[in-house]
Structure 1
Amino acid sequence: MVLPIVKLVSLFIRLSSRPVVHRLTVSAARHPKFGSAIVLIAQKYHSMDFTSQRKLLGFGRQTPIEPLSTDEAMNLGTTLLGEFLVYGVSILFLSYEYNRSLKNEKLKEEKRKDEIGKLQKEVHEYGLITEDLKGQMFKLQVKNWILENNSRQCSIQN
């Protein structure tokens, strides 16, 4: 049941990230400093990705890494930034839900402890009442025994 919901939420987040990526691309094209930062991030990512792939495949540093063109770097950078935003929002949402569920669990636990405390108090009170009733019953039995003995003595004397 939970898995389809997670898939739908993930799909929704991915689809909603497309306009964000498009706006980032437009902003990067309009603002040169932002665009150069995006290109720099994309070039660094490309070099790390290329190097790690070569190491995983067992190739050494035989050939230098060719940098991406500005357009390719801009597309890659905006896509990376968009994905980072999507994952950031997802992490924030998950942490919010986790904290909310923790808070609810704490409230439930406090309610349970209160109920247990009330029940323990009632059991203690019922125990005191029972002890009091046992004491009264013992007194009545003693009085009954005394009255029986007195009535026997009266009947013997008569």
Structure 2
Amino acid sequence: MVLPIVKLVILLARQITRPVVHRLGALAKRNRTFRSVIVPIGQGYHSMNFTSQSRLFGVDTQTQAEPLSTDEAMNLGSKLLGEVLVYGVSASFLLYEYHKSSRKEKIKAKNRQNEKAELQGKIQEYWDVTEAEIALLKRKIFELEVKNHS
């Protein structure tokens, strides 16, 4: 039951990513400063991806990845930044839910501890009453034995 819901949430996150990536790409085309940040991110990711795949497949690691064109690097960088944003938001929600559930657990534990202390207090009270009644009964038995002997 949980797995289809998780898949649905992941699909929703991917669908939300698409407009974000398109907006980031449009922003990178218009804004030179943003482009100067996004293009190196795309180039770096491409280079890192090329190197890791080369090592994975056992190809000579001395060869360097050919740099992407500015448009391709800009698209790749925007896509990567969009994914990072979506995963960052998802991680934030997960952390929020974790902290919320841990607070609830702390409250539950405190309530259980209070109930336990209350029950222990009642047990002690009943024990004291029982001991007092036992002492009273012992005294009455002693008095009856004394009365019976005399």
**The two structures share one fold, judged by TM-score above 0.5:** yes
Which amino acid in the other structure matches residue 40 of structure 1?
Answer: P
- Alpha-carbon deviation of 1:3? 1.7
- Pair 1:76-2:41 in alignment: no
**Cα distance in 2 for residues equivalent to 1:64 and 1:127:** 82
Partner of 1:18: 18
**Cα distance in 1 for residues equivalent to 2:8 and 2:47:** 34
Partner of 2:58: 58
Calculate the aligned-residue CA RMSD, in Å: 1.4
- Pair 1:97-2:97 in alignment: yes
In 1, are the aligned partners of 2:42 and 2:76 still within 8 Å (CA)? yes
Alpha-carbon distance change, 64 to 132 in structure 1, aligned in 2, over 3 angstroms: closer
**Cα distance in 2 for residues equivalent to 1:6 and 1:63:** 40
% of aligned pairs identical? 51
**Cα distance in 2 for residues equivalent to 1:100 and 1:62:** 50
**Runs of 4+ off more than 3 Å:** 61-64
- Alpha-carbon deviation of 1:91? 1.0
Moved more, 105-114 or 54-63: 54-63
Which amino acid in the other structure matches residue 57 of structure 1?
Answer: F
Count of equivalent residues = 150
Partner of 1:3: 3
Partner of 1:153: none
- Partner SS state of residue 112, structure 1: helix
Alpha-carbon distance change, 140 to 63 in structure 1, aligned in 2, over 3 angstroms: closer
Alpha-carbon distance change, 64 to 123 in structure 1, aligned in 2, over 3 angstroms: closer
In 1, are the aligned partners of 2:47 and 2:64 still within 8 Å (CA)? no
Moved more, 57-66 or 126-135: 57-66
Partner of 1:39: 39
The gaps in structure 2 that reach 5 residues or longer are none
- Alpha-carbon deviation of 1:63? 4.1
Which amino acid in the other structure matches residue 36 of structure 2?
Answer: S
**Cα distance in 2 for residues equivalent to 1:63 and 1:120:** 74
**Cα distance in 1 for residues equivalent to 2:82 and 2:51:** 23
- Pair 1:114-2:131 in alignment: no
Within 5 Å, which residues of 2 pair with 1:138-157?
138-150=138-150
